[in-house]
């Protein structure tokens, strides 16, 4: 699991047209970031001593040497779900953490199962539709030690977990995602070594892992659909959509351009798009050519909706470090604000022919002086996409509360509500978050009404009469 997202949601997938629709307000997060655990790959990672694997991580730990603090969502879920509802959200994206449910093979922690039921009941009491992710970077240690997703023989263990979750919670959850950001997991864990299992430039191993993970999605999808009530489940897959560009001129620019193209291929769009459109998995490696290739005889992989996690596009300098282009505003992460890329991502992903959710977008902004700008600019692009007829069902903002942001520790402040590990700040709404509160209040819940608002707004913008912020009036 990871953190908790909150959002406004659009209408249902096409398979369930009788369910009332909505528009973009929503929230999101990953369970492990907000609550921790005792028996996962990530808990071992942050408690370990791995200076030879990644020297930079120690610098972001601060005085909490083992990332031993979290914002306590596991115990404060009632308070936090209410905070999301107070923002006028209509749906809540969260993860069900496998390591909490099954800390040992076949050993189920029923207290954890009951807690998830309590969370779901709390969401229902506040009118929030749950959107559950079954794998968000974290899995049990026993699964990791067995090879995790690098071995196809481990797929049945993941599928069994997914089936258990649907058996327990299927009557309370319509929207499911099997896997969150498989290529991001690959990049951080197999290429740059910043996350478990901390491999560096292991392109063969990473390609093997991604191959297995995508097969696991297909297997889990079919297994859930075959269960009683499975036909009502809407099962999606969430991808981190990012492209990379080179900045500079001359000979070294050529090197940066090559690196940017490979980064887009590995991390961003190319591998996942090709697989989704054709059913063929093809993993290429510089100088070696195709490192792994197969085609599913069933054709295109099954998927009911597509999740787009979009934050920015990457810019690679001539010396191969992150940068930004002139006039662009940097976030605290190594990328700038780039709102136009969100529209481009929606347009590009529309070729899949699936309903789309922006399952994550947000900004790391410790000073809280760019958050409102990001929210207004990015939602402008969502309204533009809706006005142009793209099937965007909702937008989830990452994230509700500041948390332990993976290997960057406590330094990256994505939350709408401020939280500090030393206890000095706890769940204080940030000033920049007011832009999202306003949008969630003003945007209509029905998709048909949202489209009318979006069209009116974009017509006003194009005629020069619109404001600089997306609004529902007009």
Residue-level pLDDT at 330 = 94
User: Using an 8 Å Cβ cutoff, are 191 and 263 in contact?
Assistant: no
User: Using an 8 Å Cβ cutoff, are 317 and 336 in contact?
Assistant: no
Does this model's pTM top 0.85? My answer is yes
Four-point Cα dihedral 356, 282, 150, 312, nearest 10: -40
- Can the peptide bond before residue 308 be classed as cis, meaning omega within 30 degrees of 0? no
- Integer angstrom CA distances of residue 84 from 89, 406, 418, 427: 6, 22, 13, 11
Residue 297's contacts (CB-CB under 8 Å, 6 or more residues apart) are: none
φ/ψ region of 357 (left if φ > 0, alpha if ψ in -120 to 50, else beta) reads: beta
Q: Please report, in tens digits, the pLDDT of each residue of the chain (474 residues total).
A: 444 665 554 433 322 222 223 333 445 555 555 555 668 998 888 777 554 344 444 434 444 454 567 888 999 999 999 999 999 999 999 999 999 999 999 999 999 999 999 999 999 999 999 999 999 999 999 999 999 999 999 999 999 999 999 999 999 999 999 999 999 999 999 998 888 998 989 999 999 999 999 999 999 999 999 999 999 999 999 999 999 999 887 777 888 899 899 889 988 889 999 999 999 999 999 878 888 899 999 999 999 999 999 999 989 888 788 888 888 999 999 899 999 999 999 999 999 999 999 999 999 999 999 999 999 999 999 999 999 999 999 999 999 999 888 888 888 999 999 999 888 989 999 999 999 999 999 998 888 899 999 999 888 887 765 445 655 433
Nearest CA to 85 among 11, 6, 157, 183? 6
CATH topology of domain 4-462: TIM Barrel (3.20.20)
Domain definitions of the chain by residue range: 4-462
Residue-level pLDDT at 62 = 45
Residue 48's contacts (CB-CB under 8 Å, 6 or more residues apart) are: none
Burial bucket for residue 349 (CB in 10 Å: 0-12, 13-18, 19+): buried
Residue-level pLDDT at 164 = 98
């Amino acid at each position: 699991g990871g953190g908790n997202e909150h959002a406004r949601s659009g209408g249902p997938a096409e398979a369930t047209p009788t369910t009332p629709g909505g528009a973009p307000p929503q929230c999101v997060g990953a369970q492990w970031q907000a609550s921790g655990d005792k028996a996962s790959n990530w808990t071992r990672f942050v408690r370990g001593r791995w200076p030879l694997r990644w020297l930079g991580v120690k610098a972001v730990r601060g005085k909490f040497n083992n990332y031993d603090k979290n914002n306590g969502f596991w115990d404060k879920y009632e308070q936090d779900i209410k905070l999301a509802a107070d923002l006028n959200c209509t749906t809540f994206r969260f993860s069900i953490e496998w390591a909490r449910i099954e800390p040992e093979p076949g050993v189920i922690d029923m207290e954890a199962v009951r807690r998830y039921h309590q969370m779901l009941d709390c969401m229902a009491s506040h009118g929030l539709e749950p959107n559950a992710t079954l794998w968000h970077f974290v899995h049990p240690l026993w699964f990791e030690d067995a090879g995790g997703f690098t071995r196809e023989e481990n797929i049945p263990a993941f599928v069994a977990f997914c089936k258990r979750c649907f058996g327990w919670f299927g009557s309370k959850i319509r929207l499911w995602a099997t896997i969150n950001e498989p290529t991001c997991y690959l990049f951080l864990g197999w290429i740059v070594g910043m996350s478990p299992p901390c491999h560096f430039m292991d392109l063969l191993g990473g390609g093997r892992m991604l191959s297995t993970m995508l097969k696991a999605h297909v297997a889990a999808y079919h297994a859930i659909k075959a269960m009683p009530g499975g036909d009502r489940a809407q099962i999606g897959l969430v991808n981190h959509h990012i492209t990379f560009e080179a900045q500079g001129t001359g000979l070294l620019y050529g090197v940066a351009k090559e690196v940017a193209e490979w980064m887009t291929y590995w991390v961003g769009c190319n591998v996942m798009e090709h697989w989704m459109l054709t059913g063929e998995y093809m993993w290429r490696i510089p100088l070696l050519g195709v490192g792994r290739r197969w085609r599913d005889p069933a054709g295109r992989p099954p998927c009911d909706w597509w999740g787009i996690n979009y934050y920015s596009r990457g810019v690679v300098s001539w010396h191969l470090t992150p940068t930004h282009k002139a006039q662009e505003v940097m976030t605290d992460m190594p990328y700038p604000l780039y709102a136009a890329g969100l529209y481009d991502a929606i347009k590009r992903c529309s070729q899949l022919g699936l309903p789309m959710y922006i399952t994550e977008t947000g900004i790391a902004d410790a000073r809280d002086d760019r958050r409102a700008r990001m929210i207004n600019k990015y939602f402008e692009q969502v309204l533009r996409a809706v006005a142009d007829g793209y099937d965007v069902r909702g937008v989830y903002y990452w994230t509700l509360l500041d948390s332990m942001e993976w290997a960057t520790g406590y330094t990256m402040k994505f939350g709408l509500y401020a939280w500090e590990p030393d206890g000095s700040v706890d769940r204080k709404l940030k000033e920049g978050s007011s832009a999202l509160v306003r949008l969630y209040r003003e945007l209509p819940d029905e998709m048909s009404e949202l489209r009318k608002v979006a069209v009116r707004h974009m017509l006003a913008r194009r005629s020069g009469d619109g404001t600089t912020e997306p609004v529902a009036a007009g």
